[in-house]
Chain A
């Protein structure tokens, strides 16, 4: 799968966020992309060959709340529409929200590309008493319209047949006369001076007048000379509408969608809300929301921190690795490899097997497995977007809105992916603050598991101190960042998708996919990290670093001087460093354990995450963040060392 445009005919899946495009993509291609029950899971275009036609590639595009595009993910979809050799658009709509679906259809229809409309989640519409006259809707739009339930595989075969019969849709509306005159003028200019090979000039004109920057950039790239005239017409139209042009165009599309929806939609009167709606309302209830949140956090802690990090790690590390595999491996290596240095490289203190593989498989694997499973359940249930409501007030203190909780929670899985997900945030200011906080104070799943495993073994108080410290530092740093970074806070407006029973197959598939990705990344890095530690040790550099770091590590942080090695490991991956501290847990006092975990949690993010920061924010900003984070981590760790000795 790639994200580059190819010469093959493209079939694009487009639609609102969280309508099931990625599940349909999986059904139509066999390729698995991460699927969740909240908007913004897909932030980049994904491509795979269609199962039903090997000459066509199918593209899963990020959900668009509306077109013209405004956010980065909407621009990614618009760029796919502009740059692909589009054979057909499959608009995936939510069957229970027909008006909204048709509002987008009203714009897509103007692009002049053959279309199919798949009304997905038909089962949920039926459960809510919503019935759509599919035949009539198909007749009115002039395109194949069908219902699907992507999660259950219903309607997939009819969809593949419909794609073969896709047609250009009928326009849903004629705009008011003055708007039509502007559209015609701009469309004529586009058709004459910078025509698109597949998209109709009228559709591009509507998008351009609506302020779509991706379309404006494309037109500029095709014919810079034409842009001056286009800009002139745009300005005239905007001035005449007193700046309300995009909203007026959108309003007229909405009205047209309303009229069409009303003619094909019937709704049975329901006597009471569905159970999913009741639960959905309870979890954001002012009284019940917080106890439910605490209950969810406790359940995750019990599953990951106790079952994963204690029971499973105990079984794997102590019983399997320390009890059986490591002695057997040591015996094997000692008997068959005559070179002591090679023996040490494999099974010594910094041995590739005894350290690298043991850390990766015995300590990290059970923790991330339980975390990914728990996270998958929460994702599929629809609980995560409701966290945005509960967290909104807290996040308003740091200049963000509750929407930022999604990348933050995703960061508890993997900070690297979460950094990419900040694209769902609406302003550059929100994104830079969130990326900074992710890099500073959000531990990834492996690190979180190690922290819970290590501090859980000390006491619940230790876990609580660490958690409160992280929240406090997050809030304090966020507050300062919000003061320093110019711009204003955007109030929260967000959709709350329905609560659903998680589908076990999807959760397992997601857990497996994430584990595979994690292990492919982690095992080589752990082995490289172990080798670097071995080389530093043998060359005498590690003892020198440990000695040099003693004033900081032992004097300021109050840790044994050997903990310096963990911080050296932490430069490669924070969780590698945390695991290094975990491995010496028996020799740490409770205060040392808490201080060590606070410091390593705040420490520099992993290399992959750093690269993602560079990709999203540029080298300068990323390095500035790292330049702040590393000394800040040691500074805060030292403060906690002093404070905890005074009170504990």
Chain B
């Protein structure tokens, strides 16, 4: 699958251990919280790793560990990277 045709998925659906890149922050997220996420380093095309999904989504962006409630994570659109975790 070429990157151009790769679907964006909600972050909340991505299994722990997967590496992804940010596709977009959904408009459903509060504008201030979108700014907050950008400040934490979540910018389009930036890579990060999903560490866990329960009880909250926890990601590792660069060296920042972020915990996100599912209500936010389901509106963060990501693309899965074809990486070592994909069998």
Contacts and interface: CB of A to CB of B under 8 A. Distances in A.
- Report whether chain A binds chain B: yes
Given A258-B43, A389-B56, A390-B55, A128 B68 contact: no
Nearest to B53: A286
A66 B36 contact: yes
Contacts of B65: 277, 280, 495-498
A396 B43 CA distance: 28
Interface in A85-142: 94, 96-100, 103, 125, 128, 130
A286 B38 contact: no
Contacts of B23: none
A149 to B, nearest CB: 16
A251 interface: yes
A495 B67 CA distance: 6
Contacts of A490: 30, 33
A250 B56 CA distance: 26
Contacts of B9: none
Contact of B58 (A125, A254, A281): A281
B5 interface: no
Interface string A489-514: 01111111110000000000000000
A498 B62 CA distance: 13
A491 B33 contact: yes
Q: How large is the interface on B (under 10, 10 to 19, 20 to 34, 35 or more residues)?
A: 20 to 34
Contacts of A284: 52, 55-56, 58, 67
A52 B35 CA distance: 38
B1 interface: no
Nearest to A391: B55
A247 B63 contact: no
B71 interface: yes
Contact of B67 (A100, A243, A251, A493): A493
Contacts of A246: 31, 35
B32 A96 contact: no
Contacts of B39: 65-66, 100, 103, 250
11 contacts: A65-B40, A97-B41, A247-B38, A250-B35, A277-B65, A281-B51, A389-B58, A392-B69, A393-B55, A493-B68, A496-B67
Interface of A: 65-66, 70, 94, 96-100, 103, 125, 128, 130, 243, 246-247, 250-251, 254-255, 258, 277, 280-281, 284-286, 289, 388-390, 392-393, 401, 426, 490-498
